[in-house]
Amino acid sequence: MRVKVTATKGARLGVLCLALVLAACGGGGGSSSDAVSSSSGTTTGGSAGTSSGGASTGGTSSGDTTGSTTGGTSSGDTSGSTSGGTASAGIADDGLLGWATVAAAGGSPTGGFSSIVSGTTTYAPVSCTADSMKTLRDCLYRSKKSGSSNDDSRYASASSRPDWSKWEVHNGVTGGWKNYPVVIYLKGRIVADTNDSGTVLAQADYEAGTDPLCTATGVTKQACQQAVTQAKLERGNIAIIGLAGADGSLPTFHHGWLLVKSVSNVIVRNVRFVPNTDFWPSFEACSSGVTDKDYCSWNAEPDGLTILGSTRVWVDHCDFTDGAALSGAQTDKSLYKYYDGLLDIKSGSDYVTVSYSKFYNHHKAMLIGSTDTNDGSYRITFHHNYIKWVNQRMPRVRNGQVHIFNNLYEGPKQTDASQQYYFGYAIGLGYNAQVYSERNAFDITGAAATDLISANFDAWAQYFTDVSSWLNGSAVDLNTVAQTLINAQNGSGSKPFIGAVSWAPTSHYSYSADTTVDAVRTRVAASAGVGKVSPVPTGFTAP
């Protein structure tokens, strides 16, 4: 296992690192004539012209061939576009803005890049490089331990466990890392179906449940698959950062499920998520007129990334996809139903920003909130993301003050049940949702305005605001669409559409929005996804 622990030069890192993350990691919006200024005076730091360069080149990898992605270097962060202007190709980003920057406790997420001061002790960042599922499990285990002993139950005996004192260390950090900020570098292509012995498991292995990762708790099927493939972040002040492999392969979590649970201050950046299939999905219902059960509604278990009950989380420059071979009409009708969400945000997660990421070749992309009850605030910003060949939930929202701006949606409209990766709807207005949509570009062949949003749920929103979005290059009135759809679903009942949401993003944080459809198209297509910016801030050396 390759492990590297880094320490900083003095306690001043705690002060400096936030600026480094905001600037070099992509934070801070440049001022411009079309910048939207916060009336609260809150800013995200950074200035125009600051960039980490981002010349990161990823190659194809065996069995997972989306193709190489080459990120161009940037002469500066041009996120603050001039009025009516277009964004230049190869730019960096201003991803760290929005709700994640204004959390009540702690402010902007720094992940594992900023020192932690406890009393008179300063804990400088440590880092760990994972190039296999086993080493990723080792990194995560050490990250949640405070003592020097390694009692990881995955190993049959103490002598077989990694000796932490033998890992490369600085400043005498030989024990657990629970008190330290941690950066885990996910390097190259990690196949999550791999057990600790290096064997790739298949459906029959999960059903048997005989792998040591499953026998410890006696689980089979879904639970066994989860025990093998799920990586859990069970502590905060941590970052998962993708780096290209030694062979040039994209940083990919293949068939893995990253769970961020009940923690705060997390960054996930530059990682390509290819979620696993659930071999045992449960049938739910068929839509009217659909006679083939394989094209009906199914509930599967694994996600690509799930954020549960967590705060101050920044997901940036990631890819989320079923795989490169899947696009358009899904000819294998028994396949799509095995997948669940690409990115789900649930259990009251709050102060989250999802920026400059790609969602493609999938059926259900992103869920915000999973219950028709008031289970949290869900203050989330979703901006400059590229969504293509996705059917629905982009995102589907329950509760929350969700700001959706400058995203690019592409793909033809779905016209029959067999087209499982064609466009169904983009924004789902569910229970108690207060969505503020702004300047999104919907390039959906064959779509009408009423196709872009949905209120077709048991409990739906009564509020919605859209500002200046476009359908196939022309202005579209989504406010009237929301009123029409919600009132139609309500059936003249007691919960009609009320009107605009009761909050405004500018009252909470500063940001710059591109004001023309061409600017949105150009910026998002050039900048979203893995390999477009340097994933490691200035001052830190990637392994």
Q: The domain 13-63+96-324+333-527 is classified under which CATH number: 3.40.309.10, 2.160.20.10, 2.170.150.70, 2.60.98.20? A: 2.160.20.10
**What integer is the mean pLDDT of 383-403?**
96
| CA–CA dist 22, 24 (Å, integer) | 6
In the predicted model, is pLDDT for residue 335 greater than 60?
yes
Task: Judge whether 189 counts as a catalytic residue.
Answer: no
pLDDT number for residue 425: 97
DSSP label of 199: P
Can you list the alpha helix ranges (DSSP code H) found in 109-261?
133-143, 203-208, 212-215, 221-229
Over residues 263-319, the pLDDT tens digits come to: 999 999 999 999 998 999 999 899 888 888 888 888 888 889 999 999 999 999 999
| CA–CA dist 213, 194 (Å, integer) | 11
Identify the bridge partners of residue 194 per DSSP, sorted by sequence position.
200
Domain residue ranges of the chain, discontinuous segments joined by +: 13-63+96-324+333-527
Residue 148, token pair as written in the block: 């020097």
Closest CA to 4 of 187, 214, 154: 187
Residue 67, token pair as written in the block: 């193709």
**What integer is the mean pLDDT of 364-388?**
95
pLDDT number for residue 345: 97
What are the C-alpha distances in Å from 251 to residues 111, 282, 412, 432? Answer: 18, 31, 29, 37
Q: What is the mean pLDDT of the chain?
A: 83
**Phi (first) and psi of residue 182, to 5 degrees:** -130, 135
State CA 223 to chain mean position distance: 23
| CA–CA dist 537, 524 (Å, integer) | 22
pLDDT number for residue 541: 74
In the predicted model, is pLDDT for residue 70 greater than 80?
no
Residue 406, token pair as written in the block: 């400058």
Q: Do residues 197 and 185 make contact, with C-beta atoms less than 8 angstroms apart?
A: no
Helix, strand, coil distribution of the chain in percent, nearest 5: 15, 30, 55
**What integer is the mean pLDDT of 120-137?**
95
- Which has the higher per-residue pLDDT, 124 or 76? 124
Confidence of residue 254 (pLDDT cuts 50, 70, 90): very high
Q: Per DSSP, which regions of 216-348 are E strands?
A: 230-233, 238-243, 252-254, 257-261, 264-269, 272-274, 282-285, 297-299, 305-308, 311-316, 319-321, 343-346
Q: How many CB atoms lie within 10 A of CB 479?
A: 17
Which residues have CB under 8 Å from 514's CB, separation 6+? 34, 81, 87, 406, 439, 520, 523
Residue 131, token pair as written in the block: 């190039």
**What integer is the mean pLDDT of 234-256?**
96
Q: How many CB atoms lie within 10 A of CB 446?
A: 13
Q: How many CB atoms lie within 10 A of CB 42?
A: 14
In the predicted model, is pLDDT for residue 68 greater than 60?
no
DSSP collapsed to 3 states, 146-186: CCCCCCCCCCCCHHHCCCHHHCECCCCCCCCCCCCCEEEEE
Confidence of residue 372 (pLDDT cuts 50, 70, 90): very high
pLDDT number for residue 360: 95
Q: Do residues 395 and 402 make contact, with C-beta atoms less than 8 angstroms apart?
A: yes
**What integer is the mean pLDDT of 120-141?**
95
User: Whose structure tokens read 């739910």?
Assistant: 284
Identify the bridge partners of residue 363 per DSSP, sorted by sequence position.
none
**What integer is the mean pLDDT of 220-244?**
96
Is 118 buried (19+), middle (13-18) or exposed (0-12) by CB count in 10 A?
exposed
**What integer is the mean pLDDT of 71-100?**
44
- Which has the higher per-residue pLDDT, 400 or 19? 400
In the predicted model, is pLDDT for residue 323 greater than 70?
yes
pLDDT number for residue 134: 97
For the ranges 22-36, 83-97, 517-531, the lowest mean pLDDT is seen at: 22-36
Q: Do residues 72 and 89 make contact, with C-beta atoms less than 8 angstroms apart?
A: yes
| CA–CA dist 251, 433 (Å, integer) | 34
Confidence of residue 176 (pLDDT cuts 50, 70, 90): very high
**What integer is the mean pLDDT of 324-329?**
78
Can you list the alpha helix ranges (DSSP code H) found in 290-333?
none
Amino acid at 543: P
| CA–CA dist 334, 123 (Å, integer) | 50
3-class secondary structure, 542: coil
Label the pairing between strands 35-36 and 511-512: antiparallel
| CA–CA dist 456, 382 (Å, integer) | 22
pLDDT number for residue 169: 72
- Which has the higher per-residue pLDDT, 530 or 148? 530
What are the C-alpha distances in Å from 154 to residues 1, 7, 243, 275? Answer: 16, 29, 26, 23
**Residues of the chain with pLDDT > 70: what percent?**
82
Q: Do residues 139 and 234 make contact, with C-beta atoms less than 8 angstroms apart?
A: no
Over residues 23-43, the pLDDT tens digits come to: 334 333 333 333 333 333 333
The DSSP annotation for 425-436 comes to: -SEEEBTT-EEE
| CA–CA dist 88, 527 (Å, integer) | 10
**What integer is the mean pLDDT of 78-93?**
31
What are the C-alpha distances in Å from 197 to residues 42, 223, 337? Answer: 50, 19, 31
For the ranges 191-200, 329-338, 404-413, 472-481, the lowest mean pLDDT is seen at: 329-338
| CA–CA dist 314, 350 (Å, integer) | 11
pLDDT number for residue 487: 96
**Number of helices (H), then strands (E), in the chain:** 7, 36
- Which has the higher per-residue pLDDT, 79 or 362? 362
Which member of 393, 396, 398, 521 is catalytic? 393
Which residues have CB under 8 Å from 265's CB, separation 6+? 106, 109, 110, 111, 236, 237, 238, 311, 312
Q: How many CB atoms lie within 10 A of CB 386?
A: 22
3-class secondary structure, 360: strand
Residue 20, token pair as written in the block: 């480094």
Q: Please tell me whether the peptide bond between 212 and the residue prior to it is cis, using omega within 30 degrees of 0.
A: no
Over residues 410-464, the pLDDT tens digits come to: 999 999 888 989 999 999 999 999 999 999 999 999 999 999 999 999 999 999 9
| CA–CA dist 142, 140 (Å, integer) | 6
pLDDT number for residue 170: 67
